[in-house]
């Protein structure tokens, strides 16, 4: 039975659902002791693994002495950390165990406040036997926010059914250096693509009743040398114009209720101690009212890694002052060190109250203080985390994210042909999984339990569709052993077509070639895979190179001999099926690159978002031109783009008011013989500005499905706010002057350019500016097919 209130009346206004969450929190807060307040600001990771095979940086160092359960909950508890995502547990038994823990927490505290439960959910609910979806780079490659939103809704529903209230996703870091191991967790290298896709994920998760946690705020992906948890030498404009917009979009357009700090230090100031960023910008300027949770051990890292705090209490003081509300994953600096420092007057209790107020409001919002709250859902016995509806979304997203980079006509694979399937990723189910999927993130340490879900390999799925299939691995993903290459070459030589699958194995902290803490020295394929590729290409058989990776690897001149190149970014549990369908032509590829594919393996830390001097020029011998640019992708049909025009505004079609909107239109027709989907992209080119600007940057896009002979008008409505940037004075402005809107098949393939002039006075804009370009599609009558 839940305790009500320690006062004489027995009234509990914090449980009165007629009051607002803020009013309910304000009624409870002054009745709590200092210990009870601080207990709400910590999580506890009761299942944490101290063996060194952990899932967080320095985990074995940080949890060598776990607190006793009865001790840590005696004043209540803020959060429970990953009860499903720490070890394999049957979903029904896990939900019942979680409910038992919640009952103990409620009984132990005077006010009977349950813990808020959080889990990872980047590629699905990170739990045993839960659907594993494609990684965020695949979301970006799909250019389909609506499908990503549907995926997040399914993920959120499964989490709530299991008793989980908060998801640590999405990752909104914009890729800046592909060598960074966590590139696979990012949506791409463009802030508009990351922001629109990330906001869609947030909408889906929040609609299901799960608090979405944006991470990592901010700058984590711009580390020096592409190294994990490394210093970030970033200027204010890069931060404002590239890194921050996705977070703004996810907050305003998605409604995210939580933010996780970045481990990064920007220009010498760790984000976990940066009041200007976590309070000044996030709360005061942007108006964020939700919770800021610490990335795992980030508060203690202020002492142990950054050296800006002298001890645990000092670290807690810096983090609280900066704006961190909850210390995760387990009680540490926000435990006894914070209590003692507050009693000594070294930490203002008003900071504790501010954090507590936000924590209580959020707990009230998710129903934890409602009279009808129950520890165990009524239908828990039927809990299933991997069902047909979830699998359907997973395979659809995987199909849409496969990118056909090159095709000389060898694809789709001809029926009845002899196909050699070679390469270390060809028969490996783990080739489909990112580092935050449960089988990779946790399951690798519990091999006796199996994967939990069925994950067919590319070989499994291709064998169902290609009767004359042979297989040779050729080499391992890593290592120097080349002894298997001759057999792979012989298999290729004896076939009509060779499908060569190379790439990554996702892992954690050096246990993979991609993933958190698995950074790359350069962008050459791991191990001796490049040797395998060269040898197989020399066999004389047409080669379809399939890259199954967590980052783009360099595909320079030595790979130009491939008859076709297919890129896939960890496609999830049904990725083998999606790939086989694309290779055999059952599915027409429609994915587009969310990151550029470099030509040189030296690891150039640059993306397509570069000013003119970042491109090929006469003052450097290095040519950074990519092998395949951002937005690139081919189809098995053909599309014709025509009749680009300015629709509005007014009589002077070239005049675009600095506070207005311009509407531009293009006609796209399917001139091929099969149905297909084109991705229509709109880019902004600003040739003269008061600061250097990217040569082009994405400001709009849409997927356009067309049957053979069909055509459609695609109209973009572009607010002038979308053309804004950070000017000389450090404020975001819309600057008058000449610009160009470019319709592109990719960032490097312009179908049409429309010159415009922004007219009026320079205009300052802020957080409330227009963020989105609208899109309207108008189907047209069928057009004649080309001969």
Q: What's the per-residue H, E or C state across 298-309?
A: HHHHHHHCCCCC
Q: What is the pLDDT of residue 7?
A: 44
pLDDT, tens digit (0-9, with 9 covering 90-100), for 67-104: 788 888 999 999 999 999 989 999 999 999 999 999 99
Q: What pLDDT, on the 0 to 100 scale, is given for residue 48?
A: 43
As a whole number, mean pLDDT of residues 139-168 equals 97
CB burial readout 743-775, b (16+ within 10 A) else e: bbbbbbebbeebebebeeeebebeeebebbbeb
What pTM does this model have?
Answer: 0.95
Peptide bond into 170 cis (omega under 30): yes
The pLDDT value given to residue 448 = 87
* HSE toward the beta carbon, residue 705, CA cutoff 13 A: 7
pLDDT in tens, 439-484: 998 888 888 898 999 999 999 999 999 999 999 999 999 999 999 9
Residue 56, pLDDT score: 55
State phi, psi for 522 to the nearest 5 degrees. -150, -175
Name the more confident of 359 and 781: 359
Range from 119-128, 177-186, 502-511, 602-611 carrying the lowest mean pLDDT: 602-611
Calculate the alpha carbon distances from 330 to 320, 327, 336 in Å: 16, 7, 13
CA 422, CA 433: separation in Å to the nearest integer?
A: 19
Give me the pLDDT at residue 61, please. Answer: 56
Q: How many CB atoms lie within 10 A of CB 375?
A: 18
**Residue range 292-296: mean pLDDT, rounded:** 97
pLDDT for position 312: 96
Query: Does 416 score more than 60 pLDDT?
Result: yes
Contact 299, 347 (CB under 8 A): no
Rounded mean pLDDT of 488-497? Answer: 98
**How far is 530 from 281, CA to CA, in rounded Å?**
46
Whether the predicted pLDDT of 50 surpasses 50: no
pLDDT class of 6 with cuts at 50, 70, 90: very low
Rounded to an integer, what is the distance from CA 292 to the centroid of its chain? Answer: 18
Is pLDDT at 533 greater than 70 in this prediction?
Answer: yes
Strand partners, 734: 763
Q: How confident is the model at residue 558, as a pLDDT?
A: 87
Strand arrangement of the beta sheet that strand 639-648 belongs to: 639-648, 661-670, 711-719, 774-780
pLDDT mean over 110-120:
96
Residue range 318-340, pLDDT digits in tens: 999 999 999 999 999 999 999 99
8: confidence class by pLDDT, cuts 50, 70, 90? very low
Give the N- to C-terminal CA distance of the chain in Å, as an integer: 77
Q: Residue 512 in contact with residue 548, Cβ under 8 Å?
A: no
Distance CA 255, CA 205 (A): 10
Residue 284 contacts by C-beta under 8 Å, 6 or more apart in sequence?
A: none
Higher pLDDT residue, 4 or 450? 450
Taking only the tens place, the pLDDT of each residue in 610-649 is: 999 889 888 888 888 999 999 999 999 999 999 999 998 8
- Taking all residues of the chain, what is their mean pLDDT, rounded to a whole number? 93
Spatial CB neighbours of 787, under 8 Å, sequence gap ≥ 6? none
Q: Which of 410-419, 588-597, 609-618, 668-677 has the lowest mean pLDDT?
A: 609-618
Query: Would the CA dihedral through 361, 363, 369, 370 be positive or negative?
Result: positive
Greater confidence, 415 or 142?
A: 142
Q: Given this model, what pLDDT does residue 382 score?
A: 87
Q: Is the peptide bond before 218 cis (omega within 30 degrees of 0)?
A: yes
* 8 A C-beta contact, residue 130 and residue 124: yes
Which residues, including other chains, have CB under 8 Å from residue 612's CB and lie 6 or more apart? Answer: 692, 695
pLDDT at 51 over 60: no
Q: What share of the chain in percent tops pLDDT 70?
A: 94
Q: Please, how many CA atoms are within 13 Å of residue 671, restricted to the half-sphere of its CB? A: 10
Work out the average pLDDT over 512-517.
96
Interval 191-213: pLDDT, tens: 999 999 999 999 999 999 999 99
> What is the pLDDT at residue 684?
98
- Count the Cβ atoms, other than its own, within 10 Å of residue 481: 11
The dihedral of CA 116, 121, 125, 126: what is its sign?
negative
| Apex 148 CA angle, 181 and 706, nearest 5 | 115
Secondary structure (3-state) at 351: helix
Alpha-carbon distances, residue 242 vs 160, 190, 698 (angstroms): 33, 8, 12
User: Is residue 272 a contact partner of residue 298, using CB atoms and an 8 Å limit?
Assistant: yes
Using 50, 70 and 90 to split pLDDT, how confident is the model at 49? Answer: very low
The confidence score (pLDDT) of residue 786 equals: 47
What is the distance between the alpha carbons of residues 435 and 466, in angstroms, rounded to a whole number? 30
CB distance 514 to 430 below 8 Å: no
How do 497-503 and 419-422 pair as beta strands?
A: parallel
Distance CA 332, CA 300 (A): 8
Is pLDDT of 581 > 80?
yes
| DSSP 8-state code for residue 746 | E
Ramachandran category for residue 506: left, alpha or beta (phi over 0 → left; psi -120 to 50 → alpha): beta
Residue 783: predicted pLDDT: 53
Residue range 247-263, pLDDT digits in tens: 999 999 999 999 999 99
Q: Which residues pair with 261 in a beta bridge?
A: 217
Tokens read off for 363 = 């707990």
- In terms of C-beta density within 10 A (0-12 exposed, 13-18 middle, 19 or more buried), how is residue 329 classed? buried
Query: Nearest CA to 722 among 245, 181, 59, 210?
Result: 245
DSSP track, 234-281: --HHHIIIIISHHHHHIIIII---EEEE-S-EETTEEGGG-HIIIIII
Q: CB under 8 Å to 587, separation ≥6 — which residues?
A: 399, 402, 578, 581
Give 3-state DSSP helix, strand, coil % of the chain, rounded to 5. Answer: 30, 20, 50
Closest residue by Cα to residue 71 from 33, 104, 114, 111: 104
Q: What is the DSSP letter of 284?
A: I
Q: In the prediction, which pLDDT does 4 show?
A: 47
Q: Positive or negative, the Cα torsion across 655, 656, 660, 665?
A: positive
Residue 616 to residue 612: CA distance in whole angstroms: 8
Token pair in block for residue 319: 């983090």
**Residue 575, CA distances (Å) to 126, 359, 406, 516 in order:** 18, 39, 20, 21
CA–CA–CA angle 536, 538, 544 (5° rounding)? 50
Each residue of 711-736: pLDDT tens digit? Answer: 999 999 999 999 999 999 999 999 99
- Please answer whether residues 362 and 211 qualify as being in contact, where contact means their C-beta atoms are separated by less than 8 angstroms: yes
Instruction: Give me the pLDDT at residue 179, please.
Output: 95
The sheet carrying 116-119 orders its strands as 43-44, 79-81, 116-119, 166-167, 211-217, 258-261, 291-293
């Amino acid at each position: 039975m839940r305790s009500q209130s320690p006062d004489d009346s027995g009234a509990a206004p914090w449980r009165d659902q007629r009051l607002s969450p803020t009013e309910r929190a304000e009624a409870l807060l002054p009745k709590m002791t200092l210990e009870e307040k601080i207990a709400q600001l910590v999580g506890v990771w009761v299942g944490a693994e101290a063996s060194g095979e952990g899932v967080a940086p320095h985990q074995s160092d940080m949890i060598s002495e776990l607190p006793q359960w009865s001790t840590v909950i005696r004043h209540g508890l803020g959060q429970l950390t990953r009860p499903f995502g720490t070890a394999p547990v049957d979903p029904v038994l896990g939900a019942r165990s979680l409910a038992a823990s919640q009952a103990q927490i409620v009984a132990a505290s005077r006010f009977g406040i349950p813990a808020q439960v959080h889990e990872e959910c980047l590629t699905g609910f990170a739990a045993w036997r839960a659907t594993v979806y494609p990684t965020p780079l695949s979301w970006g490659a799909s250019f389909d926010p609506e499908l990503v939103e549907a995926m997040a809704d399914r993920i959120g529903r499964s989490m709530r059914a299991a008793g989980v209230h908060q998801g640590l996703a999405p990752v909104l870091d914009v890729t800046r250096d592909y060598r960074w191991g966590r590139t696979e967790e990012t949506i791409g290298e463009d802030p508009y693509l990351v922001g629109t896709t990330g906001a869609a994920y947030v909408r889906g998760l929040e609609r299901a009743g799960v608090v979405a946690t944006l991470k990592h705020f901010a700058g984590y992906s711009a580390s020096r040398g592409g190294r994990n948890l490394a210093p970030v030498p970033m200027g204010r404009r890069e931060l404002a114009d590239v890194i921050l917009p996705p977070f703004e979009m996810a907050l305003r357009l998605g409604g995210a209720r939580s933010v996780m700090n970045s481990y990064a230090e920007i220009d010498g100031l760790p984000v976990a101690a940066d009041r200007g960023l976590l309070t000044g910008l996030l709360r005061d300027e942007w108006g964020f009212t939700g919770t800021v949770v610490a990335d795992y051990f980030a508060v203690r890292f202020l002492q142990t890694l950054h050296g800006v705090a002298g001890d645990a209490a000092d670290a807690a003081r810096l983090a609280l002052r900066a704006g961190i509300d909850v210390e995760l994953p387990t009680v540490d600096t926000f435990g006894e060190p914070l209590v003692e420092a507050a009693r000594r007057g070294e930490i203002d209790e008003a900071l504790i109250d501010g954090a507590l107020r936000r924590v209580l409001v959020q707990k009230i919002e998710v129903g934890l203080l409602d009279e009808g709250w129950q520890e165990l859902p009524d239908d828990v016995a039927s809990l299933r985390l991997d069902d047909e509806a979830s699998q359907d979304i997973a395979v659809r997203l995987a199909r849409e994210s496969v990118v056909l980079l090159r095709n000389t006509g060898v694809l789709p694979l001809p029926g009845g042909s002899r196909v050699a399937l070679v390469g270390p990723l060809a028969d490996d189910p783990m080739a489909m999984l990112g580092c935050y999927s449960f089988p990779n993130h946790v399951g690798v340490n519990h091999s006796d339990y199996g994967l939990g879900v069925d994950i067919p390999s590319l070989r499994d799925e291709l064998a169902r569709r290609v009767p004359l299939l042979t297989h040779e691995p050729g080499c391992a993903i890593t290592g120097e052993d080349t002894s298997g290459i001759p057999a792979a070459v012989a298999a290729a030589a004896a076939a009509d077509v060779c499908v060569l699958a190379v790439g990554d194995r996702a892992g954690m902290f050096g246990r993979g070639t991609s993933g958190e803490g698995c950074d790359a020295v350069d962008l050459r394929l791991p191990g001796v895979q490049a040797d395998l590729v060269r040898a197989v290409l020399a066999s004389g058989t047409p080669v379809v190179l399939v890259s199954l990776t967590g980052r783009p690897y360099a595909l320079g001149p030595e790979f130009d001999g491939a008859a076709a190149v297919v890129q896939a970014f960890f496609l999830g549990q049904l990725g083998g099926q999606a790939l086989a369908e694309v290779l055999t032509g059952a599915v027409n590829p429609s994915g587009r690159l969310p990151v550029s594919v470099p030509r040189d393996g030296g690891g150039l830390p640059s993306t397509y978002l570069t000013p003119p001097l970042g491109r090929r020029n006469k003052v450097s011998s290095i040519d950074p031109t990519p092998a395949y640019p951002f937005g690139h992708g081919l189809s098995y049909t053909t599309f014709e783009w025509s009749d680009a025009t300015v629709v509005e505004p007014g009589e002077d079609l070239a005049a675009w008011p600095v506070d207005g909107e311009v509407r531009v239109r293009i006609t796209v027709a399917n001139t091929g013989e099969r149905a297909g989907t084109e991705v229509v992209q709109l880019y902004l080119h600003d040739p003269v500005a008061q600061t250097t600007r990217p040569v082009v940057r994405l400001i709009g896009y849409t997927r356009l499905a067309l049957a053979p002979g069909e055509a459609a008008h695609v109209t973009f409505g572009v607010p002038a706010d979308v053309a804004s940037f950070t000017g000389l004075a450090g404020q975001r402005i819309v600057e008058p002057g000449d610009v160009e809107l470019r319709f592109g098949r990719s960032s490097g393939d312009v179908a049409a350019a429309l010159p415009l002039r922004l007219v009026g006075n320079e205009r300052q804009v802020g957080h409330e500016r227009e963020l989105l370009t609208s899109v309207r599609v108008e189907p047209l009558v069928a057009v004649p097919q080309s001969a």
